[in-house]
């Protein structure tokens, strides 16, 4: 009986390890015009995909067959077939796409056009722009609520989070947040919006229905000058309990209790950490470190960085899929 139990434990451990190894991370290299592909089994770069000029924002299609890449200097979204790892087409995006989000239905994409103060709504299937929504100056961060009701856009210069009805495309609210908001994310239950503000080094929590501010967390790092602690990229666990915040030039990622907004711990990563992404099982966090041109891999169960690997020049965004 004990032997059978031991075998069962071993099998479960192997299955768990296999699940971790199955993931693949994709990193946009802004100055190399490439995407680095990281194999979760070896934590090495397994391939490099050439895309358009100045790739930044990334997203996976809901079924996981395509990678979308915002190529800002070409004013389009490149579409990479993940089976062949080749660019097979493109989508119109409006001018200078930076961040974008795919609606949960997989049919539409919402793109921040930084130079035009617009959000372009793109029909993915028919490859055309359906409409443009006016927002504040220098829109960047984009998020969609998991229930599909809301789209959130942040405008850097206006210091606002704009809440858009995903169905009618009506602008529902403009919420004033701290200086230079960079990213936004919506909780898995679609009830709370989190917005990072670069220059204040804060994250603001907003009630998604009332659009009222319900909390805020400010970050500090011992031994690091206050002006270098800049909140940028965001990631949330699938259960919505833990929020991760990239702190830019502070070379740290903060782990935050999403309910209480208490900072639980800090992780030391590469220089000027920007984009971050969780593995599908929430066991790892990948960080794109722009100034050190590398990716840090954090094992969240062991609470430590387990690998730093070089990628292309100026890595900016990262997404992780199975």
Per-residue pLDDT of the chain (322 residues; tens, 9 = 90+): 555 455 544 444 444 544 445 799 999 999 999 999 999 999 999 999 999 999 999 999 999 999 999 999 999 999 999 999 999 999 999 999 999 999 999 999 999 999 999 999 999 999 999 999 999 999 999 999 999 999 999 999 999 999 999 999 999 999 999 999 999 999 999 999 999 999 999 999 999 999 999 999 999 999 999 999 999 999 999 999 999 999 999 999 999 999 999 999 999 999 999 999 999 999 999 999 999 999 999 999 999 999 999 999 999 999 999 8
Q: What is the pLDDT of residue 9?
A: 45
Identify the pLDDT of residue 10: 45
- pTM over 0.85? The answer is yes
Residue 73, CA atoms < 13 Å, CB-side half-sphere: 9
State residue 2's pLDDT score: 55
User: What value, to the nearest 5°, has the Cα angle with vertex 198 and ends 165 and 192?
Assistant: 35
Measured over the CA atoms of residue 218, residue 180, residue 102 and residue 251, the dihedral's sign is negative
The confidence score (pLDDT) of residue 22 equals 79
CA separation, residue 42 to residues 20, 39, 128, 303 (Å): 11, 6, 39, 19
Distance CA 151, CA 149 (A): 7
pLDDT at 14: 44
CA distances from 32 to 20, 71, 163, 173, 315 (A): 29, 12, 34, 38, 9
Note the pLDDT of residue 19.
46
48 near 35, Cβ under 8 Å? yes
pLDDT tens-digit series, residues 201-249: 999 999 999 999 999 999 999 999 999 999 999 999 999 999 999 999 9
The 10 Å CB-count burial string (b at 16+, else e) for 3-18 is eeeeeeeeeeeeeeee
Nearest to 58 by CA among 82, 39, 22, 41: 82
As a whole number of angstroms, the distance between CA 63 and CA 83 comes to 13
Q: What is the pLDDT of residue 228?
A: 98
Q: Can you list the pairs that 17-20 forms with residues at least 24 positions away whose Cβ atoms lie under 8 Å?
A: 19/281, 20/279, 20/281, 20/283, 20/284
Of 43, 37, 107, 45, whose CA–CA distance to 69 is shortest? 37
Helix (H) or strand (E) holding 272: none
Measured in degrees and rounded to the nearest 5, phi and psi for residue 3 equal: -65, -45
φ, ψ dihedrals at 112, nearest 5°: -85, 120
Match 């395509």 to its residue by tokens: 66
């Amino acid at each position: 009986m004990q032997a059978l139990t031991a075998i069962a434990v071993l099998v479960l451990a192997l299955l768990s390890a296999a699940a971790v190894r199955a993931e693949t991370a994709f990193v946009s290299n802004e100055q190399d015009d490439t995407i680095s592909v990281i194999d979760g089994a070896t934590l090495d770069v397994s391939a490099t995909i050439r895309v358009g000029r100045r790739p930044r924002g990334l997203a996976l299609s809901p079924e996981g067959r395509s990678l979308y890449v915002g190529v800002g200097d070409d004013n389009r979204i490149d579409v990479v077939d993940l089976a062949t790892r080749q660019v097979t087409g493109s989508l119109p995006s409006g001018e200078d796409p930076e961040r974008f989000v795919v609606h949960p239905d997989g049919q539409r994409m919402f793109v921040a056009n930084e130079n035009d103060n617009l959000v372009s709504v793109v029909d993915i299937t028919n490859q055309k722009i359906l409409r443009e929504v006016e927002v504040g100056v220098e829109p960047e961060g984009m998020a969609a609520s998991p229930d599909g009701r809301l789209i959130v856009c942040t405008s850097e210069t206006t210091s606002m989070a704009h809440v858009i009805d995903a169905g009618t495309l009506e602008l529902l609210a403009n919420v004033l947040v701290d200086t230079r908001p960079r990213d936004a994310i919506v909780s898995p239950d679609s009830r709370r919006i989190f917005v990072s503000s670069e220059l204040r080094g804060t994250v603001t929590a907003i009630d998604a229905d009332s659009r009222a501010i319900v909390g805020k967390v400010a970050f500090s790092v011992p031994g690091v000058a206050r002006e270098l602690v800049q909140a940028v990229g965001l990631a949330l666990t699938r259960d919505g309990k833990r929020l991760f915040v990239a702190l830019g030039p502070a070379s740290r990622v903060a782990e935050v209790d999403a309910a209480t907004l208490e900072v639980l711990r800090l992780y030391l990563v590469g220089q000027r950490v920007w984009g971050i992404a969780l593995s599908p099982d929430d066991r790892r966090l990948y960080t794109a470190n722009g100034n050190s041109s590398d990716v840090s891999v954090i094992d969240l169960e062991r609470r430590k960085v387990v690998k730093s690997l070089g990628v292309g020049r100026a890595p900016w965004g990262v997404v992780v899929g199975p």
